[in-house]
Structure 1
Amino acid sequence: MNKSDYISRDLSWLNFNYRVLDQVKDKNKSLIERMKFLAITASNLDEFFTIRVGSLYNYIDYKKQRIDYSGLRELPFRKILFAKAENFTAEQHRLFLDELMPHFEDNDFSITPYKKLSKDHKKLVKNYFETTIYPMLTPMVYDSYHTFPMLNTNRLVFGVVTEGNEYNVENKKLSFIQVPSNLPRFYELEIDDCVHFVPIEDIIKNNIEQLFRNVQTHSISLFRITRNGDFTLDESDDIEANFLDELKKKLKTRRSGRVVRLEVMGRPDAWMMKVLKSRWEIDDDNVFRIPKGSILDLNGLWDIVRHREFKDMLTEMPEEVPPVSYPEIKDENIFEVLQNKDVLLHHPYNNMEPVIDLLEKAAEDPDVLAIKITIYRLAKDSRVTAALLKAAENGKHISVLFEVKARFDEENNLREAQRLQKAGCFVIYGISSFKTHTKLMLIVRKEGDKVTRYVHLSSGNYNESTSRLYTDLGLLTTDEVYAHDISEFFNVITGHSMPSVYKNLITAPKDMRQQLVEMIRKETENARKGLESGIVIKINSLQDKEVIDEMYAASQAGVPIKLIVRGMCCLRPGRKGLSENIQVISIVGHYLEHSRIYYFHNAGDYKLYIGSADMMVRSFERRLESLFLLTDDLLKKQVKNILQYNLKDNVNAYVMQEDGTYVKKHANGDPEFNIHREFYNVTKENLEELDLTFDHIEKAVNNGRSVESIEVEKEVENK
């Protein structure tokens, strides 16, 4: 597989989840913090099986051809993918059992099996079972008289094999009991200043005879299935109602999709396993065995991580700081601020409050005439929705493009969109076969005898919750060039306009890939002419072959390329004769890196773009995306500094190797530099100072490797 010039998207993603899992090994983090990262890897893996493995089965089940970037066809690739996923699962549970669980009692809690409870405590738990759990349980038998029940995806399920009594001489029967998902995963007992978490599945298992009276129980097995949740909508130019009906139908199919993974606890009943594998048309590769003593579904750890007793054990980050470009923004009227200057917000270091404040003030301001916004994901009890409802109530024109196809948020977005529509907002439920992923807001305000347009462009969602956890960039401005571009783009989204050119905006699916390719080619041309050149790009994912091939050509011409790619990366760096001048690093730490930045040296007249788009086929061809050019000198310095800090990080950074694996970047005697701390300390003054060192960073990658990566490689060789 290493012979290919490209790295498998799915295998690269698994490597990303390994980098998240690596946080669990970090003994400098608190136990609760390490458990949080373990729960994140479990959630990530669930989504991976639901969508990526689900997508693979769409090819296998319907006998469609697919060749992975590794060069393998569907079935050989499936074999390798499942083997690597099994290794990953084994490592998750090894860390839980060997490196986390032994320290539970030292931290005043325990995951305590039902059988280890005292007689009095068992009485308490049994009472909880009888009054709360038992009434919610429904045994579902499967035999010649009963159809196979529809079991929910990612739910704990008991498979109970029973034998008949003297009145019913039939042989074995198989029954299923789904563990309620709307009850806490653990029953809590406080004993001698220690919180004991008794798993709900353990409580049910030890009282299950109440559901099978006068019947001999042969075996009780706990398992969990993951179904294919990858679907595409059969969209056309039909009326909106048909599209919404189609979406609702597809959401139901996600609940009944084919089984792609079966997780089983310990040693399950062999006869039951034979029935399940036959019923779901799966084999041993689909079966993931969870070791005894661990817990099935590590997502359950969130109940402990978020427990009130342990909130002090989570990493405490500094308070948000004012934006570098306008430190006084807290104390001034947001409309007046933006009339005088642009403001760049770097979340979560800068609060999202100025954006929400602008929207809420616009909702109440009698001079505001209209608000237009694109929404991809919202917070629970969203202030954004509340402000838009208030604006509609106040008679303003509100246009909302609500992307109801945002994966796993479809139902919530559909519900919120319908609320806005009922309130009188003009709501567009997505655009045909495209997902609207761009993040834009336009507020039109009458000021005297003129109209001013207030614009927000961002890499992140209008979500107050994730803005505290994801690193993103947003620009607030009244600049007429941006305002004109955004107005034109909204006309494309809501109508049938097709502008020939934007001044500061690059959009997909129109021409984003082509414009990025042209800028890469310009660097290639400059390098061949002996001019200075360089590319630094920070994104979440890199997968588009056309862009990758252009970067390979640029590398071969001598262009130094630094890529900061958090997640999967299909480009292979450092290959002799192909990509020697390309280095890839990944930042994985306290915050989820979500911002996208594109820097092109352009023979000294550098260009900087920010926006919503990664370098993915879906971003260029199947999504409405936007990147916007930064023009303000101070803001350009700020973003240049963000790139420099990312390249300098030696706490959260991993260096990608030619074979697709990653090696942790170490300080090697230098002071630790953790961007998730350092960005709280950025000022205008150190922007001036650090900007002078950026060219040095570019030259340091002239051979495709930084000093740090060379030292890491030597370290690997010595081992």
Structure 2
Amino acid sequence: MYPMIDPALADAGLGDAEDDDFDAVESPDALLPDHRYLDRELSWLAFNQRVLELAEDPSLPELERANFLAIFASNLDEFFMVRVAGLKRRIMTGLAVPTNIGRSPVDALADISREAHALQLRHADAWAGKVRPALADAGIEITDWEALTGDEQAALSEYFQAQVFPVLMPLAVDPAHPFPYISGLSLNLAIRIRNARTGRQEFARLKVPPMLPRYVEVRGTSEITRFIRLEDLIANHLGDLFPGMEVLDHHAFRLTRNEDMVIEEDESENLIQALEAELMRRRFGPPIRLEITDDMDDVTLDLLVRELDITDQEVYRLPGSLDLRGLFDLGKIDRPDLRYPPHLPTTSVSFQPGDSNSRPDMFKAIRKADVLVHHPYESFTTSVVAFLEQAARDPHVLAIKQTLYRTSGDSPIVQALIDAAEAGKQVLALVEVKARFDEANNIVWARKLEKAGVHVVYGLVGLKTHCKLALVIREEDGTLRHYSHIGTGNYNPKTSRIYEDFGLFTADPQVGKDLTRLFNELSGYAIEKKFKRLLVAPLHLRKGLIRQIDHERKNAEAGKPASIRIKVNSMVDEEIIDALYRASAAGVKVQVWVRGICSLRTDLEGISDNITVRSILGRYLEHSRIFAFENDGDPQVYIGSADMMHRNLDRRVEALVRVTDPRHLDELLAFFDLAMDPGTSSWHLGAEGVWYRHSEDGEGNPLVDLQDKTMGLIQRRRRARAVR
């Protein structure tokens, strides 16, 4: 790889309001129906169904469709490793509580199993019946061993002996060899063999090597590019692995394990050591899903179920090949005609150099006016990376402070921080080593930063640091100036090419003071203070948003213009949802643009009549968070890192910044207008939590693609600047 304050408080920002004001918000929840939420786990599965629908769409390029199948598979793996595993663990420990819709945990697992089984079957059918034939029609064929000519089989046998056979490790299961450990997400062959000497049937397990290409190209004279699956190639050479044995049968299977992290923190514990121990434990987490091919015999299945201690509900019998994450490998095929047209991110107008030979002065541009960048339409490299690299080499820069949630060890951002520290600047990196599935990488480059002299801080006990903040302190004419960046996405140059995000650069002194205080608290002990242009979790963000929502409700009741627009990845938090219901019931127009989970309903008569929910998926992963409130004609708009989930509002350090430049307000609101326009392709949330795709008009013509349209708008904006 798939968004009111009281006018008297507008200039000061929500941070100046007292807690008593927040607590004064009316909460007539008795008027709201009991069954007012959608199940969050089933809503997530509905999101992944939307990903699958992109793969099923014949209007999309063939290799992109295959990529969406791989994304679906990868998403579902993580869902089982984290969400299902966590639910199962809580059931086993007796700590489980009813779900957000009141379902018992055991019933919730049954619901998930039912929906996941249906989705996996649909996923398999999409590959076998739609995408694989479409690829073949386009000249890329995934073939089977039996369909190859003798010469082709001979050539592949040579490849097998030279490149595959040496790394295979068949493991026998008999009285002298216990059932082997099956690693999570590995693809395996379960093999039944007969000992020629004793005549006894035995079992062996063979792991398909994950370091080898999943699809092996068939060399030949055909004009069609053809591949054979690695497991198919191995299966047709089992005789080489078991000489003197009769191979009776073989079947593919795949295991998913619990890989959720449980870190018990206290102030005296070394977090890095605890994480490393937990990462080792995670490799041996209990099984939670067994995928098998639909032709597996009962003898083999019974053995796997018994040895893996797994239930029938956790067995997924699927037609065709397993682990379609392997389709990511097809992305290496040189067929640009079967992909989205290439898009080269443009440099933000504000950061474009005066001439082709000059390097832009980032600080000068930010002093001139706030700069809002929109990735990946506008380049991350020529904005965020350039900002930090200039800060690292500028002799007037005294200090750099930055949060890092997900990045990579070869990131130019990490290198810029190292360069700055080695140049004698004060550098603080607040590293969140608990970023799920990036823990091991984060530990490696955090230690690399420490060795270079960077002050590395691992955040507050009990809280993840998820906010995206960078602060540069620069001496100018004897005074210190703050240059700030607040983003909605990670400081990761790789994901910035496919994640849609906003970032705000500002030299506003108040934002600089807010960030200085926040960084000091993050490297200290607690988040206590309120802020002027920031809303910060866990203490003030939820209260601030509910206050804004309630202010819109009161405006509607007073006959004033009132609307709320929220763009997030997930909308789950019950307090926020209830506040939106109350606003809707009072007549506030509420528009929610959500990529993934949405527990908000649109089918509650008299309650959600004014609520519209849309979802957009495409070539880029919609990732930005926007919160816009009409505020009786004086829009209050925030961007930042927080989703509307319990963890974001209660157990993470998150930050939203209020956008004040009228040009930026217009840009953000126009972006929202385009997303919610009936002429834009999107999914609409309907009754009972069912999503309906709207991609064509009444005459069968395709609706506007928001991401293509945004690309064009930003390119035209750059050309207009060049003409001037």
Q: Given the two structures, how large is their TM-score scaled by the length of structure 1?
A: 0.91
Rounded Cα–Cα distance in structure 2 between residues aligned with 1:572 and 1:468? 33
Deviations 1:185-215 (A, max 9, x none): 1221243222211111011111112222222
Q: 1:274 to 1:489 in 2, by over 3 A?
A: same
- For the 8 Å contact 1:564–1:585, the answer to whether it is kept is yes
Question: Bigger shift: 199-208 or 127-136?
Answer: 127-136
Distance 2:527 2:79 in 1: 36
Query: What is aligned with 2:276?
Result: 248
3-state SS in 1 of match to 2:161: helix
Query: Which residue in the other structure is 2:185 paired with?
Result: 154
Deviates more, 1:15-24 or 1:100-109: 100-109
In structure 2, the residue matched to 1:641 is 670
2:409–2:445 Cα contact (<8 Å) kept: no
Distance (Å, rounded) in 1 between the aligned partners of 2:435 and 2:526: 24
Pairs within 5 Å for 1:46-65: 46-65=77-96
Change over 3 Å in CA distance of 1:272–1:521 after alignment to 2: same
Match of 2:330 among 300, 304, 320: 304
Give a deviation string over 1:3-50, Cα, whole Å, max 9, x none. Answer: 821111110011111111111222221211211111111111111111
Structure 1 residue 259, shift from structure 2 partner: 1.0
2:168 to 112, 117, 137: 137
Q: Which residue of 2 aligns with 1:479?
A: 508
Deviations 1:532-580 (A, max 9, x none): 2110111110111111111111111111111001111001113103211
Map of 1:704 onto structure 2: none
Give the Cα–Cα distance (whole angstroms) in 2 for the partners of residues 295 and 643 of structure 1.
Answer: 41
What corresponds to 1:115 in structure 2? 146
Instruction: Return the alpha-carbon distance in structure 2 between the equivalents of residues 476 and 444 of structure 1.
Output: 14
**Stretch of structure 1 that moved more, 333-342 or 374-383:** 374-383
Distance of 1:466 and 1:617 partners within structure 2? 25
Question: Residue 575 in 1 paired to residue 604 in 2?
Answer: yes
| Structure 1 residues 348-383: Cα deviation after superposition (integer angstroms, max 9, x where no partner) | 111112111111111112221111111111146211
Alignment partner of 1:466 out of 495, 501, 516:
495
| Cα distance between partner residues in 1 of 2:74 and 2:665 | 36
8 Å Cα contact 2:467-2:653 kept in structure 1: yes
Task: State the Cα deviation string for residues 260-284 of structure 1 (Å, max 9, x = none).
Answer: 1111123113122112212233222
Give the aligned partner of residue 656 of structure 1.
685
**1:41 aligns to what?**
72
- Which residue identity does 2:545 align to in structure 1? L
Distance of aligned partners of 1:530 and 1:46 in 2 relative to their CA distance in 1, 3 Å threshold: same
Structure 2: unaligned runs, 5 residues or longer? 1-32, 719-724
Select which of 534, 542, 562 maps to 1:533: 562
State which of 210, 213, 221 in structure 1 corresponds to 2:240.
210
Matched to 1:510, the amino acid is L
Contact 2:193–2:248 at 8 Å: present in 1 too?
yes
TM-score normalised according to structure 2 size: 0.90
SS at structure 2 position matched to 1:472: strand
2:109 paired with 1:73: no
1:199 to 209, 220, 229: 229
For residues 647 and 324 of structure 1, what CA distance do their matches in structure 2 show? Answer: 26
Is the Cα contact below 8 Å between 1:445 and 1:452 reproduced in 2? Answer: yes
Q: Distance in 2 between matches of 1:129 and 1:251?
A: 34
Change in Cα spacing, 1:253 to 1:685, as seen in structure 2 (3 Å) is closer
State how 1:507-522 maps to structure 2 within 5 Å: 507-522=536-551
C-alpha distance in 2 between matches for 1:266 and 1:643: 45
1:482-511 per-position Cα deviation (integer Å, ceiling 9, x unaligned): 100011110111113655320000111121
**Aligned residue type for 2:335:** F
Which residue does the alignment assign to 1:674?
705
SS of equivalent residue, structure 2 residue 283: helix
**1:547 corresponding residue in structure 2:** 576
Cα distance in 2 between the residues matched to 1:588 and 1:113? 33
Q: Which has the higher contact order (CA 8 A, sep 6+)?
A: 2
Distance 1:527 1:229 in 2: 47
Identify if the C-alpha distance between structure 1 residues 565 and 174 changes in structure 2 by more than 3 Å, giving closer, same or farther: same
Partner of 1:590: helix, strand, or coil? coil
Q: Structure 1 CA distance, aligned partners of 2:662 and 2:601?
A: 34
Match of 1:702 in 2: none
Which residue does the alignment assign to 2:397?
Answer: 368
Deviation at 1:600? Answer: 1.1
- Once the 2 structures are TM-superposed, how far is the Cα of residue 327 of structure 1 from its aligned partner? 6.3
Q: Quote the residue 2:263 is aligned against.
A: 233
| CA drift at 1:247 | 0.6
Q: Residue by residue, what CA displacement relative to the aligned partner does 1:503-525 show, whole Å, maximum 9, x if unpaired?
A: 00011112111111111111112
2:338 corresponds to 1:313: yes
Q: Deviation string for 1:150-183 (max 9, x for gaps)?
A: 11111111111233343x56x4432211111111
Residue in structure 1 matched with residue 25 of structure 2 by the alignment? none
8 Å CA contact 1:488–1:499 kept in 2: the answer is: no
Task: Tell me, yes or no, if the aligned pair for 2:398 and 2:425 is still in contact at 8 Å.
Answer: yes
SS in 1 for 2:296: coil
1:379-390 correspondence runs (5 A):
379=408, 381-390=410-419
Report how far residue 326 of structure 1 moved: 6.5
Report deviation, 1:674: 2.1
* 1:224 to 2:249 alignment: no
Q: Distance in 2 between matches of 1:648 and 1:363?
A: 43
Distance in structure 2 (CA, Å) of the matches to 1:3 and 1:110 = 53
Q: CA RMSD in A?
A: 2.1
Q: Distance in 2 between matches of 1:43 and 1:500?
A: 40
1:339 corresponds to: 367
Name the amino acid aligned to 1:248: E
User: How far off its partner does 1:453 sit?
Assistant: 1.6
Shift of 1:651: 4.3
Q: Using the alignment, how far apart are the partners of 1:248 and 1:319 within structure 2?
A: 39
Tell me the distance in 1 between the aligned counterparts of 2:237 and 2:572.
Answer: 50
Question: Which residue identity does 2:300 align to in structure 1?
Answer: M
User: What SS does structure 1 have at the residue aligned with 2:335?
Assistant: helix
1:87-134 Cα offsets, whole Å, 9 max, x none, are 101111111111122233332221121232222222221122222211
Q: Distance in 1 between matches of 2:245 and 2:471?
A: 67
Unaligned residue ranges in structure 1 (runs of 5+): 688-719
Q: Does 1:95 align with 2:126?
A: yes
Residue type at the aligned position of 2:331: V
The residue aligned with 1:714 is none
Tell me the SS of whatever aligns to 2:218. Answer: strand
Preserved CA contact (<8 Å) 1:574 1:583: no
Q: CA deviation at 1:235?
A: 0.6
Contact 2:238 2:247 in 1 (8 A): no
Q: Which SS does the other structure have where 2:248 is aligned?
A: strand
Percent of paired sites with the same residue: 35
